[in-house]
Amino acid sequence: MSTANPDSTQDEAKLLEEQLRAALVDAQAARAPAFEVALLAGLRERMAGQPDILRLADDWLDGDGAEQIAQEIPAIRIAPRVEALLSQLDEDDEEERTEALLAFDELCAGFTYCGFGSRCDGAARVIARAIRAMPQVWSPLSDFASRVLQHAPPLADDPAGLVWRAIEAARALSKAPNQSPVEAIPIPRFIREPARLAASSGKIQTRTSPLGSVAEVALVESSEGVELLIRANADDAIVSAEHEGQALILHPVHAGFWSCPAKPGLYVFTINGTPYPFEIV
C-alpha cells in the first residue's frame, strides 16, 4: 500500500495508522496474524513521523506477540509473490501488475520490520532482472515508482528498494538503443510428498529441473536424507546460492557439480552473475 501521490501521503499515513491499530487489536485477540501488524507497521515506518501506534506495535511484537510472529514467519512463502510479478508480461494489464508489485512490496516491508528483510534479497534481485528484461512492460509505472521513492521510500535494508529503482529506470531503459534482451526466468519448483519419500522404499529418487540454459538442479531423496545437486553446463562456472536470503555453503562434488541441503523455501542460485530462482514446497 505504498503512496502513489505526494498530495495523498498524509492521508495514506493516517489510513495506515487506522489499519495498524485495528490489526494490532485483532492480533492481540488472536483474530488476525501477527505478520499483518508487522506489514502495516513496516509500510507506515517508511513515511514521515513516528506515531504512537508504531511504538505500540513494536512493543507488542517484541513482547507478547513475539512467539506468534516467530511461528508465522517460517510459513510465509516468498516464491508465489515473485512468480506473480514475473508472470506480468502483458503490457495492457497495468492494474494486475501494480497489485502484484504492491503485494511483494508489502511482504518486504513486513519482513524488514521484523528484522528478516534479507529473506527477500534474492527474490528482489530476480524481480529487478525481470524488469530489466522487459522494461517496456514496466515503464508505465516509472512515475509511480519515482513518487514512492521520494515520499515513502523503503528503508536502506529493505530489498523492495531494488525493485522500485528498477521500475523507475524502466522508462529510460525501454528507450535505450540497441538494448540487448535479457531472459526472463520462471520459477521451477519441487513439491515434496512425504508418502513417496525414498526412505520408505529404500531407493534413491531424483527429480531434475533446468536453471535457465546454464545449469540444472536435482532433488535427490534417499534413506540417508535429502539434498540438492547443482550441475553447471560449464566446469568453470562461478556459482553461489542462498536460501530464504541466507547464504549457503555449496559443497563441490566434482568439476561443475555442487551439493547443498534441501529444505522448503525459496532458493536463488547465482551463476556467473545471473540469479536463478528455485523453490521447494
**Neighbouring C-beta atoms of residue 135, cutoff 10 Å:** 21
At 223 the pLDDT is 78
Cα 247 to its chain centre, rounded Å, is: 15
Contacts of 11 (CB under 8 A, 6+ apart): none
pTM: 0.82
Contacts of 25 (CB under 8 A, 6+ apart): none
- Please give the Cα distance from 40 to 161 (Å, whole number): 17
Contacts of 132 (CB under 8 A, 6+ apart): 166, 170, 173, 182
Domain boundaries, the chain: 6-174, 189-280
The C-alpha cell at 140 is 508505465
CATH number of 189-280: 2.60.40
At 93 the pLDDT is 80
- Please give the Cα distance from 133 to 166 (Å, whole number): 11
Residue pLDDT tens, the chain, 281 long = 444 444 467 889 999 999 999 999 999 999 999 999 999 999 999 999 999 999 999 999 999 999 999 999 999 999 999 999 888 766 668 889 999 999 999 999 999 999 999 999 999 999 998 898 889 999 999 999 999 999 999 999 999 999 999 999 999 988 876 555 555 566 888 887 654 544 455 678 889 999 989 999 999 988 778 899 999 999 999 999 999 999 999 999 988 999 999 999 999 999 999 899 999 98
- Please give the Cα distance from 103 to 149 (Å, whole number): 17
At 221 the pLDDT is 86
Helix locations, the chain, DSSP H: 9-28, 34-45, 52-62, 66-72, 79-86, 94-114, 121-133, 135-138, 142-151, 160-174, 198-201
- Please give the Cα distance from 203 to 228 (Å, whole number): 16
At 89 the pLDDT is 67
Query: What length does the chain have?
Result: 281
- Please give the Cα distance from 184 to 207 (Å, whole number): 23
At 257 the pLDDT is 95
